Structure 1
């Protein structure tokens, strides 16, 4: 008998059909991955198992956990199952954790709710679970708060909460999307070990085929609320039947046709021995102030027409360096020059106009009360004589057309667009004043593989049509490899390797670079798999 059996699950919200006849099975000790693009119904399928559904939801069909029907089960019954028999790891740990509670109390909460253990016994169990997920008590006190941990450490806390009572079923919803490659590899290995050690079943939700290719026993492919293909992982990759599955695989392996970079010309951005320190909190009232060095003597030059990638683990100093380049934070040593002028928090508007940025989360950088026309014309305030009237409208239309949108989109609000369309609008905002340099800060890390392929193709096209130079910051090595000519590898605030992209990826000279490349998930060789008997 299956540990989890979903049969003919239909789901609608306020009369709008979302899921249609979804069926899948998961055995004890098995890892099943549900994959597909955003909006395919992956997460709602998982939330249906937990019965964490929005108001207005109507479901039919059957969801059985070890033979027990849980679909439309009463709340008291589901409260007993959640945390005790079913654990869930959410995509964004900061939204799953309470910022006002320390990590010890949050892991203990599940234990105290579902068992009769005393607080001391729950504390002991919390220490054991946190140590099991790689947060030993000698290094990570239970009194720490979520904001004191890195993204990977927070995700480990969420996993500890989910497995505190060794549930029979663990659901992981995009658990590694925002993590760097080495942390991602550690989290995936941890999940595999937990399945093996505890014998639980793991239902993993992801849009990244490379992540699950070497992890999942079986894959379920969803599109528009339906299961279009399912099978044993190696068999499915070797013989993909549905066109959508083949399209997903092709998008995951997408190679960008990046035009050849021109010969090194004018230096647009010069970073010379940059140093950025942050003060540590004083241990006593009159103690001498100590500092943490986030950026330590970094130097590089971005020439006109050059496309540079910046990679490294979380906490290596990428974001700090980016803020300094944008003039948002001062340096304690060295210099940063853009177009021959010193970059600083009080740098002139004319200098800022030549240096624009595209952020990881476009929705978070937009004012939802403003229409697209106003959003993408925000950089006009940097111009001495910003366009008005018809000229302004034409500039908006040209910017939208350049990123593959329609001029009529200028009159819409940002909530009317998908994630990929919002990222196009963010690029349009950066382009509208024709900057010479754009900084892409994790600009595609949260996108589906097909949308990511479209955005990368767009960036490659814009390098020709708009004569762009850019600094592309990402933890996704496969993306950096296809969209840059040169790559900088950053570790502990320093550049440890700098060279032509293909050379660095093919023959890395620094052990840290080799470790990053080895940790990055890769798609299987379909031709090789096709020769392996099922």
Structure 2
């Protein structure tokens, strides 16, 4: 029985048409995935179903939920439907949650607004719902705030809010993009179980075809605001008719061709590094527990080598990275770059920090939107005792932009004038501008859709041929790490539990934790006898 029927949906904003004759259906208990590149219309379709389109937008066609045309309803009527009949899980849980309200209050609020029951009863139901999504009160008190939870735990709170009233339809918009593979697996299992248990229709929006293959009963492939192809998951993957669908699959399975690494010459050496933190007291005069965020970590990154670092959220990757970059001191051990310590005389060694650069996950958030690209990518020059000026500076800007596949004329533009993939190229140009010895890529492609991600990874391989590039690549995406690294390290609870040649570690893992990570990673279906880990 059809629960949601979107029929000939058109959406325009200020006379610019965004969606064109979109048609899809979701049955009760069915999982339907909408996939496609950024800008394909996935999220706009979901917002149209929710009645949350931007100002000055116009929607025509029909969006029928359980017999009622949502496009014909008033805002007051839609307010009574949102939360009760339709729940939504957003991509970034921290922005979807109120930072000054406890998790119990936020789940209870949804129940009280729609059912008008008392506070005590609402809190009891909130407690039960949080326990249902894996946050029992014994371990996660309702008085906790969002910042006290991990990313996966916050996503569970958002799911609890969305299903608190057991809606008929649940929309999940990129619910696992920023999560590590094991947390992602738990969230996907939870969503699938809830859809089955409550008989909800689940409309899932994602650019990850491996997740789609694992989760969806049917797939809707969107391109430029139109439905390019749709059908049952197994049938669609077995016979992809539209060239765009085939292109998405090829990008998802993409592997880059790295040049061979040169002879091993030590560049970054980490020896016995330990970084501890003291926890808050549980009582007024009680002891303060000590947590080892990084415990006795040792490794060497050689010149021209591409080294990967993987592990779950909270395993110590970020703490180790901050120590390598000289942003935090360590309690034990030593970190050197070209033999010079990154921390000396109780302070960060600026001369060493000049030789390292970082590419962050969110390129837009790491740039000042008021400055032009020419100033943004020359920020590393401020660390130099004698930064280049005039024609030398202009030549360095032109070379950096050209190397990342952009034009020297782009130096005069602002960051908002570029797409997400172009912004990440500009972030890489900034990292390259002063020819650093080491670049740290911190989840640098996790926010990009599959086709843009493939382009950026090809760019890295091309840069490795043009420059003597050495980098530490940190990511929760095992397929990407497999593709762009020579060696890989697996981190668990602050320790490196396995490291070695990437092909060997991924092909024949020795540690139980590495096997768990690889087992949790979703896989693309076998096409032509080949399967791919992503």
Q: TM-score, normalised by structure 2?
A: 0.97
How many residues align? The count is: 529
CA contact (8 A) 2:63 2:71 kept: yes
Q: Deviations over 1:8-35 (max 9, x none)?
A: 1111111111111111011111100000
Give me the whole-angstrom Cα distance separating, in 1, the residues matched to 2:27 and 2:459. 43
Does residue 109 of the first structure (1) align with residue 104 of the second (2)?
Answer: no
Give me the whole-angstrom Cα distance separating, in 2, the residues matched to 1:83 and 1:285. 41
Give me the whole-angstrom Cα distance separating, in 1, the residues matched to 2:349 and 2:149. 37
* 1:396 aligned residue: 397
Give me the whole-angstrom Cα distance separating, in 2, the residues matched to 1:204 and 1:376. 37
What's the offset of the Cα at 1:467? 0.5
1:143-222 matches, cutoff 5 A: 143-222=143-222
Does residue 255 of the first structure (1) align with residue 255 of the second (2)?
Answer: yes
* 2:330 aligned residue: 331
Give me the whole-angstrom Cα distance separating, in 2, the residues matched to 1:195 and 1:347. 51
SS at match of 2:431: helix
Give me the whole-angstrom Cα distance separating, in 2, the residues matched to 1:252 and 1:280. 41
Alignment CA distance shift 1:517-1:289 (3 Å): same
* 2:269 aligned residue: 270
* 2:449 aligned residue: 448
Give me the whole-angstrom Cα distance separating, in 2, the residues matched to 1:207 and 1:285. 49
* 2:42 aligned residue: 42
CA contact (8 A) 2:133 2:159 kept: yes
SS at match of 2:255: coil
1:369-518 matches, cutoff 5 A: 369-518=370-519
CA contact (8 A) 2:62 2:71 kept: yes
Does residue 524 of the first structure (1) align with residue 525 of the second (2)?
Answer: yes
1:18-97 matches, cutoff 5 A: 18-97=18-97
Q: Where does the alignment leave 5 or more consecutive residues of structure 1 unmatched? A: none
What's the offset of the Cα at 1:353? 2.0
What's the offset of the Cα at 1:346? 3.4
CA contact (8 A) 2:404 2:429 kept: yes
CA contact (8 A) 1:238 1:529 kept: no
Q: TM-score, normalised by structure 1?
A: 0.97
Give me the whole-angstrom Cα distance separating, in 2, the residues matched to 1:238 and 1:528. 11
Give me the whole-angstrom Cα distance separating, in 2, the residues matched to 1:196 and 1:449. 29
Give me the whole-angstrom Cα distance separating, in 1, the residues matched to 2:529 and 2:387. 58
What's the offset of the Cα at 1:384? 2.5
Give me the whole-angstrom Cα distance separating, in 2, the residues matched to 1:19 and 1:453. 26
Give me the whole-angstrom Cα distance separating, in 2, the residues matched to 1:271 and 1:256. 28
Give me the whole-angstrom Cα distance separating, in 1, the residues matched to 2:370 and 2:285. 47
Give me the whole-angstrom Cα distance separating, in 2, the residues matched to 1:245 and 1:346. 53
Give me the whole-angstrom Cα distance separating, in 2, the residues matched to 1:7 and 1:496. 52
Give me the whole-angstrom Cα distance separating, in 2, the residues matched to 1:63 and 1:338. 59
Does residue 351 of the first structure (1) align with residue 348 of the second (2)?
Answer: no
Calculate the aligned-residue CA RMSD, in Å: 1.3
Give me the whole-angstrom Cα distance separating, in 2, the residues matched to 1:492 and 1:420. 33
CA contact (8 A) 1:51 1:72 kept: no
What's the offset of the Cα at 1:348? 4.0
What's the offset of the Cα at 1:415? 0.7
**More deviation, 489-498/130-139:** 130-139
* 1:366 aligned residue: 367
CA contact (8 A) 1:237 1:529 kept: no
Give me the whole-angstrom Cα distance separating, in 2, the residues matched to 1:234 and 1:319. 39
Give me the whole-angstrom Cα distance separating, in 2, the residues matched to 1:390 and 1:93. 46
Give me the whole-angstrom Cα distance separating, in 2, the residues matched to 1:116 and 1:90. 25
Give me the whole-angstrom Cα distance separating, in 2, the residues matched to 1:351 and 1:111. 55
* 1:305 aligned residue: 304
Give me the whole-angstrom Cα distance separating, in 1, the residues matched to 2:380 and 2:116. 59
SS at match of 2:227: strand
SS at match of 1:364: coil
Alignment CA distance shift 1:428-1:90 (3 Å): same
CA contact (8 A) 1:309 1:473 kept: yes
CA contact (8 A) 1:182 1:516 kept: yes
Give me the whole-angstrom Cα distance separating, in 2, the residues matched to 1:134 and 1:285. 31
